[in-house]
Structure 1
């Protein structure tokens, strides 16, 4: 027979576990009108292809949030990008941010993923990979040189497409996803949706 004390402890433990899960949910980004928290919840019950797609798209959101944060705040360590990128994407992201910082370019605004979809999912090889097509809103980003002149590309589009390769060498562990290739040009091909 359960005593009231045991029931209270079990209820408190359930509340604490649920509370921890919702804290993670509150830190998730919006993906094409749906929060990645709903994607994360459904990935727990989804087939492996769907789970990998959702995890890769959530990582793409974090990747662009990280780039935006690095550009906006020169006190953030360049190594923050290590958590979201690897390989050529990591090398390029670090070099690009370092160049902008060394030139004194100040950037305000964010790169926002307004739509993203998994175009191809490969889980049968190591590393597992997902090709993600994303539509990025860069309309709020404004880059300026130290003298106040614009560092934005001439005639840039407010929304641009990007094709990313996201890999996970430790699949099915969801923590291993990293962007390894980002072929988007931030002033390049316009998009409405991915």
Structure 2
């Protein structure tokens, strides 16, 4: 059984990015994969910013990454790039921290003008970490994600894109397990 970890780099507790990450985790759990969700914003700030990898909470987060077969990197788009919070966490990983892992880069944002942030900003970092397979990135527009009464609703076009990349990621995971 594969172990999948969603890593959310949003600083907001009511983040659409986290909601989409939760959605992806639930969908992957349907295939009987163990899924977890690491919300970087919940890690203690001082040890995170000082790269104190021996701190118990930081060490536990790094251990989650090392045990995962698949990683979903979920980030909001800020100033045409992925979040600094996510970058801070990725900087703590060993040089080849994604070796033997399948990775799904996913972003949310207000404008399709930022869609290339995944390919030009996040993908090179993922490759430098030695990912075995990086599936097609997916960018979900904020307007396609609605959270009401505790339920997540993803618009038709966002849902179709997510379904396609979840299937690609699922196939990539089959190769790791």
Q: Which structure would you say has the larger Rg?
A: 1
Classify the TM-score, shorter chain. under 0.3
TM-score, structure 2 as length reference? 0.25
